[in-house]
Structure formats: structure tokens, C-alpha cells
Amino acid sequence: MKAVARTPRRPAPKKPSHPSLKDPVGVYCRVRPLSGPDQEGCIEVINETTVQIHPPDRYRIFRNGEYRETQYSFKEVFGTLVAQKELFDVVAKPLVEDLIHGKNGLLFTYGVTGSGKTHTMTGSPGDGGLLPRCLDMIFNSIGPFQAKRFVFKLDDKNGVDVQCEVDALLERQKRDAMPVPKIPSGKRQIDPEFADMINVQDHCKVEEVDEDNVYSVFVSYIEIYNNYIYDLLEEAPFEPIKPKWNNCNTPVRNGDFIPPQSKMLREDQNHNMYVTGCTEVEVKSTEEAFEVFWRGQKKRRIAHTQLNRESSRSHGVFIIKLAQAPLDADGDNVLQEKEQITLSQLSLVDLAGSERTNRTKAEGNRLREAGNINQSLMTLRTCIEVLRENQMYGTNKMVPYRDSKLTHLFKNYFDGEGKVRMIVCVNPKAEDYEESLQVMRFAEMTQEVEVARPVDRPLCGLTPGRRFRNQAFREELSQKLELRGGPKNGETEEQSVTEMFLQNFPPLPSCELLDVNDDQTLPRLIEVLEKRHKTRQMLLKEFGKNVLAFKTALQEFDSSVVSKENYIQGKLSEKEKTIAGQKMELERLEKKIKTLEYKIEILEKTTTIYEDDKRNLQQELESKSQKLQRQASDKRRLEARLQGVVAETAMKWEKECERRVAAKQLEMQNKLWVKDEKLKQLKAIVTEPKIEKPERPSRERDREKPVQRSVSPSPVPSAPPVRPRHRRSRSAGERWVDHKPPSNLPTETVMQPHVPHAITVAAASEKALAKCDKYMLTHQELASDGEIETKLIKGDVFKTRGGGQAVQFTEIETLKQESPTGRKRRSSPNPEPPEDAADSECTDVETRCSVALEMRAGSALGPGYQHHAQPKRRKP
């Protein structure tokens, strides 16, 4: 039976099933050690994810000593001491796990020539690289579950077919019968140089391998050189070689190495790229797979030397395909259903050196080829750039995959789904500085490209554990057969039956009749034959019994199987019921979770709103309190300033008052002096008109004794020497001359001086003086404040020796009328129409006038001085 199955390996890239699930390209960096201890380096590993690159010394000279270090970050950075195993565990292991779970992967090394790409991918003897380790892990994982050779058959359109084991066996026999090409197998053919490489002895395996599947591994190895694809596993043709042109336009002569024909790239129905007519070898062990790889590697080397190619300019692509299909319900054979086959592939690519300059100074063809190789890496860079731009900025630029074979082959991965990982290899030596910078830049950019995450393949729907149950059944059956005398372990059924027969039958005697008279041989033969017949009968009986027993055993087994099946069925339906219940419960819980999530979302939103509010309010509060504090401090400052101002003003005013008082005093003294003078003159006029004028004392002298003069009744120095002849008692009947010059104005003062028994005169009169012993002159003048000041100048009257009268002035009494509020009227709370000063004085004497009775020191009111009215003060 043959089912032609072309598996849908992954959904068409145009419609990814999970468009949102994408992973960035994993970029790792490996720094190889320097060749010698005194070699100048320009790259340091900073930490697990960062490398730093600095310009070597000679660049510093070129750039005026400018020294700029640059750091680049990757998913992980592997330093010089990192072992191949460690690198494999981190970078390649997940890809192998994906491969076994039916997902695609691409792993490539990128870097300049000599940076360790091949060392990383292939490794060296005793230190296998990623490729042998991947193979080892694959076979460690699927080893016991591998399908027989040719059960899976790859077709020429990148699909896979499945056939039953019998067909596979027939095909095997057919192929074995063919003389060539022979599929080599076994460890003995491995190049001893690299036998060590596959001896990784890691025993590393994938944890979760579907044991109910059968697996087959196919490998192919191609080389891309000068934008041509060559199949490195293609067998050489047998026909004698005819001269023809190889790809490098050089004629090929008889006996020469036959250059391989370049291959075409095609896209299969699932939009995967594949090399048409490429040899894909089914391999059953790590050794076999690596041997195939090594065969291709040798061919590659030969091609390089024979065709004068530069090996560093070619890309090596090793493709591992894994076909897997589930076992049928019995767990015995592969399920012959095309939809159930999964084909996944892991491509391991050792890229050409990324250097832009041609280090080997190639000429002619080789230069052109080198240019082409460069072109393919350039295209790779462009593709990655455009992809990144499209993904980052949502543009829809066409990615130029078709511009080179390499990128066209990679299209699967970048445009479709799968894991893409790149190992950037760098040589820290100073000579590679500029190239390494380019490499780092490209690598950093590559990290920003995302590739759709592969989806898990659907389950086949058959009960798991089929392989295990089938094995258990076989073991039980063989045990039972053994118990009933069946074939023991290790021996075939035919062998044991023959032996049993040989044991049960007596040996036949010789039946050769040599003598005519021999009458013993035949009877003996007859006897033996009869015995044998009897034994046969017995054996037949036994056989019949055994058959019966076997039948019953079989029936028993059948019934027990049926009952077991029933039991299992019952259990299964029970379990199904429980599962259904649980599913319902799950759905309910999911719904609840959704509602709760919705609620949480709303609550979170509300919380955010409240928090925002709170923040705003807090901010407001803070600003307000700050404002308040500012105001309080302003207030305090103002208060302090005001206090200062007040104190200052008070002091100023005090000083001003003092100054004014002093000025007033001075003025008053001067006036007094003037008055004195006048009075003296007056006296001279009154008493002795012929007395010569007194000398005017100096101001200073006058100022020295103002009080004395006015207070003590000492004689006026300028006055003639008079001695009071007689001093009349003051207590009784003193007579006054009240001299009121007619020029005086009526002052309307309430308190008017009133002198009883006085002779009032308008001008000085000798007659009046002769009759009296006291004299008083009422003198008016305009004070500095504009008010009329009335002065009562008093003195004693003496008789002079010449029989005349003299007055000695003893005191001056000043009467002054002034406004209590100063000259300007204050506005009252009830605004009244303004009146002129005279009017207001008449109407409101009490409030606005007060009589200031200013008495000179030592002066007393005269006895006849009476108050006409007491000044009343209005209560405040």
C-alpha cells in the first residue's frame, strides 16, 4: 500500500495563523581567541551580552588621537573561553527541539574569513561544532522511534510520501540490487581525520519526543558559489567525460574533475524554497549523517582546488529534514494518511567571509566571482534592512530575496515562520577592525527583524501510548507462548518444532537389504515404522489437544481483551464525562475570569482616574500651602520692615520735634530780646524821655541769661540805677497801670486778663504811673504760626531820684490762641460744608479753640487775673 502524502509543512506565509506572535532573529556573538599573545586586539567582551570594539593604535594616529569605543549588544556574547558544548546548548539546542516538534529553523554563522565560522559550525577533531552536535542530539532523541528505511520517501517537489513497511522492504531490496549509486553506511568509511568530530558523547536529547510517531532524517548539502547552487552529494556520472564548459568558462578536458552542474531554486506549493533535483540522503545515525556531510565537504574541497576557487567565498548549506508520522491505532504500523505527515527542516549555513575587500588580491574570473559572492551577502544585508524597515515603520517595500540565490533560499525563513538564529563570529585582531565594525552593525540591525513564531502542529487524534501498548502486548504474547512450550526467546518457531519431532521419533534403522535371506531388517523397519505411526497418532492427538487448548486460550484471551476493552471503554466514557464536566467548568471559570478581568480593568481605570485626581489635588494643596507659606513669610517680612519704619519715623519725629522746640526757643528768645529792647525804649519814653539809649547787648550774652532776666526781678542792666524806695505790699490794694495800646485787636478770647482797680491807659502816662506801683503792657504780635499772640509785660513802678517814675519789668505773660487741630481743619466723620475760620471759631469755640496760657518760668498769674471761663474739653 502506498499513500502519496504531501504534507502541509506550514501555512502559507501570506496568511499566518498567528500574525501577532513574532520573535526577533536571535543574534549571538562569538569572539575567537587571538592567534598569539602579542597580537594586537580591538575587541573585548564586556559582559554576557555586550562587546566593545575600539580603534587600533594606528587609527588613533590617523584620526588625530580621537579614540571612540563602540559597544554592541547581542542576545548573548561568547568569549574566547566558551566551549562548543556551551554554545550548542544555548544556540542550537532549541532549534533541534523545534525540529523534532515539527518546526523549521535556520542557523547561520556570519563573519569575516578566519573569524571562526567553520570552527563554530563544523568544529575540529576532538571538538565537534554545532553540526555534529545537532545530528547527535537528533538521533539520541528519535533513535528508538525511527522508521524503516524508505518508509518515508521525499519526492522531487519538496514533498514527502509514506508507504508501508512491506513496500519499503521491497524498495530496499530493489535498491540494494542496483550496482550504483550505493548508499554508503557504517562508521568504517568516515575519514579518520574527522572521526573525532562526531564523537561528541553528549547524550543530549530532546525531552518531549512524541513516542507514537515514527521518524526519518534526510540530509542534503549544497554549496552556493558565484551565485550558482551546487549539490555536494550528487554522485558523479559514469559515462566517459566529454569536453564541456564548466561554470567558470574554462574548457574541461578528458580525465579532469567533472564540475558539478548548478541547480535551480523553486518554490513549492507551500511557498517553501527548495533546490530542484538535490540529493537528499536518508540517514539512520549520527555517524552516517556526518559521513554524508563529510563526503560533501571533501567534494567541496576538491572543487575548490581543481577549479581554482577561493573557498572562503562560498556558502555551505547543510539541510536536515525530519519527516514524522503517527503510528496507527494498533501502534504497529505508520498511519498511511498523507495529512498526518510532518516535515520540518533545520538549515545550518556556514556563510562566506563577509569582508568587502578581496584579501587574496584575486584577478579576472576570481575577482568577478568574489564580486558575486559579495553581492549575495550585500543582498542579504539589503533584504534584512528592508525587512526591518517594513516591520518597524509599517512600510510595504519589496524585499529583494530574488536578487541572489542565498537570500532566495532564505526567503522561507524570513517571510514564513520558524526560528532564525545567527552567530556573529569575530576575530579580535586589530587588522580586522574595520570589517568587524561592519559585521557588528549588520548584526545589530538583524536583531531588529522579527520572524513569525511557528505554530504547534495539530494532534493526530489517536490515543497516546500506542507504541508502548503494542510493545507490551507483544511481550505478553511471547511469554504466554513460551509457557505453553512455544518458542523461547531467541529461537525461531520452526527450530523448536523440528527439535521436538526429532526427540519424539525413534531413529530409523538401516533399510539396506544386502542379503536375500535377510529377514530381520524389514520386520525391524516395520516395527519402527509402527512405533512412529503410533507416536504420530499420539502427537496428532496431542496437537489436536494443543490446538484446542490454544483455541480456548485464544478465546479466553479474546474475551479478556474484550472485557478489558469494555472496561477501558467504560472507564474512557467515564473519563470523557468527567472531562466534559471539567470542560464545562473550565468554560464557566473562563467566563468568570473574563468578567473578573473586565471588572479589574474597569477598577484599574477608576483607580487611575482617582489616582490622577488625588495627584492633582495633592499638587493643588501643595501649591496652595506653598503660597500660604510665601504669604506668611511676606507678612513677617513686611511686619519687620514696618516696625523698623515705625521706629525710624518715631525717632525721626522725636528728633524733628526736639529740633523744632530748640528753634522755637531760639526764636522766642530773640523775640523776647526785641521785646525787651522795645520795652526798654518804652520805659525810657514813659519814664525818662531823655535817657540815652541803652547799648544793645550781644545776642550771645543775651542768650546766656534769658531766664535770669525774665525770672529774677533783677534790675535791667541798661536801666538807670534805681532803687526801690518803697515797696508796697502786694497783698492788699496794689494799683495797676493797664496800658492797652489802641492798635491792639480784640481777640475774643474767653479768658481775658482782668485787672481790678487798674487805670487803663491807651498811651504811656506819667500821671497814671505816679498813682500806681504796678505796670502792665498788653502787647500783640503775629506768631510764627499766624495766630495773634498777646503778651502781658508786667513790671514794678519806682520813683526815680529825679522825681520821675521808672518801671522795672519783672515778668511777661503770654496769651496765645491756637486751633487744637492745627491750622488745617480736619474733616469730620459727618462731612459739613466748609466754613471760614472765623465762623467756626465763633460757633465751636470749645472744640476748636483752647487758650494756651503760656507762662514764663517763675511767673505767676497776677492777683487780679481771673478766668472768665474754664476751657472745657470734650470727652473723646
Applying CB under 5 A, the residues found at the interface with Mg ion are 117-118
Q: Are 870 and 864 in contact (CB under 8 A)?
A: no
Partner touching 163 among Mg ion, ligand ADP, none, CB below 5 to 8 Å by kind: none
Partner touching 114 among ligand ADP, Mg ion, none, CB below 5 to 8 Å by kind: ligand ADP
Partner touching 340 among ligand ADP, Mg ion, none, CB below 5 to 8 Å by kind: none
Nearer to ligand ADP, 227 or 312 (CB): 312
Three-state DSSP state, 812: strand
Position closest to Mg ion via CB: 118
The CA-based diameter of the chain, rounded to the nearest angstrom, is 243
Nearer to ligand ADP, 278 or 425 (CB): 425
Partner touching 428 among Mg ion, ligand ADP, none, CB below 5 to 8 Å by kind: none
Asked if 102 interacts with ligand ADP (CB under 6 A), we say: no
Beta strands in 150-264 (DSSP E): 152-154, 160-163, 213-225, 228-231, 244-245, 251-252, 262-263
Beta carbon of residue 395, minimum distance to ligand ADP (angstroms, whole number): 34
Among 26, 114, 416, 753, contact with ligand ADP (rule: CB under 6 A): 114
Q: How distant, in Å, are the alpha carbons of 93, 98, 132, 611 from that of 202?
A: 12, 19, 11, 57
Contacts of 270 (CB under 8 A, 6+ apart): 8, 9, 10, 11, 12
Beta carbon of residue 439, minimum distance to ligand ADP (angstroms, whole number): 11
Cell of 145: 522511534
Beta carbon of residue 350, minimum distance to Mg ion (angstroms, whole number): 6
Among 117, 313, 779, 794, contact with ligand ADP (rule: CB under 6 A): 117
- In sequence order, the β-bridge partners of residue 106 are 347, 420
Q: How distant, in Å, are the alpha carbons of 157, 158, 274, 770 from that of 271?
A: 11, 10, 9, 158
Nearest to 318 by CA among 285, 279, 286, 347: 347
Among 26, 111, 132, 260, contact with ligand ADP (rule: CB under 6 A): 111
Partner touching 791 among Mg ion, ligand ADP, none, CB below 5 to 8 Å by kind: none
Among 5, 103, 106, 118, contact with ligand ADP (rule: CB under 6 A): 118
Asked if 687 interacts with ligand ADP (CB under 6 A), we say: no
Among 50, 73, 124, 765, contact with ligand ADP (rule: CB under 6 A): 124
Beta strands in 436-580 (DSSP E): 450-452
CA distance 675 to 689: 18
Nearer to ligand ADP, 314 or 814 (CB): 314
Nearer to ligand ADP, 87 or 323 (CB): 87
Q: Which stretch binds ligand ADP (CB under 6 A): 50-58, 109-117, 496-504, 816-824?
A: 109-117
Number of Cα atoms under 13 Å in the Cβ half of residue 466: 20
Nearest to 82 by CA among 43, 42, 39, 129: 129
Beta carbon of residue 618, minimum distance to ligand ADP (angstroms, whole number): 59
Helix 364-393 and helix 405-415, axial crossing angle in degrees, nearest 10:
20
CA distance 77 to 329: 48
Among 6, 10, 54, 119, contact with ligand ADP (rule: CB under 6 A): 119
Nearer to ligand ADP, 126 or 186 (CB): 126
Number of Cα atoms under 13 Å in the Cβ half of residue 873: 4
Q: Which stretch binds ligand ADP (CB under 6 A): 52-60, 108-116, 337-345, 540-548?
A: 108-116
Nearer to ligand ADP, 111 or 795 (CB): 111
- In sequence order, the β-bridge partners of residue 755 are none
Three-state DSSP state, 802: coil
Beta carbon of residue 204, minimum distance to ligand ADP (angstroms, whole number): 20
Beta carbon of residue 208, minimum distance to Mg ion (angstroms, whole number): 35
Q: Are 451 and 419 in contact (CB under 8 A)?
A: yes
Beta carbon of residue 393, minimum distance to ligand ADP (angstroms, whole number): 34
Residue found under cell 459739613: 832
Beta carbon of residue 84, minimum distance to ligand ADP (angstroms, whole number): 8
DSSP H/E element including 82: none
Partner touching 134 among ligand ADP, Mg ion, none, CB below 5 to 8 Å by kind: none
DSSP code per residue over 567-614? HHHHHHHHHHHHHHHHHHHHHHHHHHHHHHHHHHHHHHHHHHHHHHHH
Percent of residues in the chain assigned helix, strand, coil, to nearest 5 = 45, 20, 40
Asked if 446 interacts with ligand ADP (CB under 6 A), we say: no
Partner touching 706 among Mg ion, ligand ADP, none, CB below 5 to 8 Å by kind: none
CA distance 261 to 249: 13
Asked if 41 interacts with ligand ADP (CB under 6 A), we say: no
Asked if 32 interacts with ligand ADP (CB under 6 A), we say: yes
Beta carbon of residue 368, minimum distance to ligand ADP (angstroms, whole number): 21
How many residues appear in the chain?
A: 876
Nearer to Mg ion, 349 or 719 (CB): 349
Beta carbon of residue 311, minimum distance to ligand ADP (angstroms, whole number): 9
Nearer to Mg ion, 118 or 687 (CB): 118
Asked if 436 interacts with ligand ADP (CB under 6 A), we say: no
Contacts of 665 (CB under 8 A, 6+ apart): none
Beta carbon of residue 108, minimum distance to Mg ion (angstroms, whole number): 12
Q: What are phi and psi of 321, to 5 degrees?
A: -105, 140
Nearer to ligand ADP, 312 or 342 (CB): 312
Residue found under cell 481771673: 866
Burial class of 750 by CB neighbour count within 10 A (0 to 12, 13 to 18, 19+): middle
Q: Which stretch binds ligand ADP (CB under 6 A): 107-115, 757-765, 846-854, 862-870?
A: 107-115
The end-to-end CA distance of the chain, in Å, is 134
Beta carbon of residue 87, minimum distance to ligand ADP (angstroms, whole number): 9
Partner touching 32 among Mg ion, ligand ADP, none, CB below 5 to 8 Å by kind: ligand ADP
Beta carbon of residue 409, minimum distance to Mg ion (angstroms, whole number): 19
Residue found under cell 553528549: 202
Asked if 33 interacts with ligand ADP (CB under 6 A), we say: yes
Nearest to 148 by CA among 333, 360, 328: 333
Beta carbon of residue 113, minimum distance to ligand ADP (angstroms, whole number): 4
Asked if 113 interacts with ligand ADP (CB under 6 A), we say: yes
Partner touching 159 among Mg ion, ligand ADP, none, CB below 5 to 8 Å by kind: none
Nearest to 133 by CA among 195, 28, 185, 204: 204
Beta strands in 734-842 (DSSP E): 736-739, 758-761, 774-782, 788-799, 805-818
Among residue numbers 327 through 356, which ones bind ligand ADP (CB under 6 A)?
A: 353
Total residues interacting with ligand ADP, rule: CB under 6 A: 14
CA distance 773 to 786: 35
Q: Which stretch binds ligand ADP (CB under 6 A): 37-45, 111-119, 583-591, 760-768?
A: 111-119
Partner touching 713 among Mg ion, ligand ADP, none, CB below 5 to 8 Å by kind: none
Beta carbon of residue 117, minimum distance to Mg ion (angstroms, whole number): 5
CA distance 403 to 280: 26
Among 7, 104, 115, 226, contact with ligand ADP (rule: CB under 6 A): 115
Nearer to ligand ADP, 426 or 682 (CB): 426
Asked if 312 interacts with ligand ADP (CB under 6 A), we say: yes
Among residue numbers 406 through 435, which ones bind ligand ADP (CB under 6 A)?
A: 425
Residues in touch with ligand ADP (CB under 6 A) = 32-33, 111, 113-119, 124, 312, 353, 425
